[in-house]
Every structure is written in structure tokens, then in C-alpha cells.
Amino acid sequence: MFNIFKSAPKNYENLDGKTFKSKFQNSPKAELLDVRTAGEFSAGTIKGAKNLDVTSSQFQSALKTLDKDKEYYVFCRSGNRSGSACQMLSDQGFKAYNLSGGVGAWPR
């Protein structure tokens, strides 16, 4: 039976902290995106991350400035906002990975 309420296919990968960090560190095209608010970002982030607030009205236009040849490793506090950001990225043809569990899942 056809389900009209079926969600759109997910074109990004959810990764646990260890896998996310390993793939990020081993990809020459990796870009780390922190999609939390500027306040959360300034309180502490993963070294080398760029801040691009997914809740900002500028988020969609900021996506247009990103390099489609790169792979985006995306995180937030819990993994929810970064999941949404990954879906938006993948909808526009970007390769995206979500850090399941958020910034706290990043191995120290």
C-alpha cells in the first residue's frame, strides 16, 4: 500500500562520535559545521568548526556559499538541529554527516 505520509528519503548519514571523528579526520574534503546559535558556539565548540546557525534566517542563503565539492560534518547540542541541517544540505546536493548525540558524543 502506498503511504502518502512517508517521509522523504534521508540522504545523509547519522554517525556515532567515534566514526564521525575518524571519517572527518581522514577526509581531505571535510568541513566541520557547528549549527548551534552563536552563543552556544562561543561557549565552546570542536576545534576548527565553522558556526552556521541552522535556526537563523540566513541559514538557507549561507548554504548557497558552501562548496559542493566538500563533505560537511555537522553537529549541534543533541543531534536534532544538525539532523535538520544535514537534510537541508543533502536536499541541495551536498554530502553531509550528522553527529548522533551532538557535541557531547565527540570523543575527547
Q: Nearest to residue 89, comparing CAs of 105, 66, 108, 106?
A: 66
**Collapsed DSSP state (helix, strand, coil) of residue 19:** helix
The residues that bridge with 74 in the sheet, in sequence order, are 33, 98
Report how far residue 35's alpha carbon sits from residue 56's, in angstroms, rounded to the nearest whole number. 9
Active site residues: 76
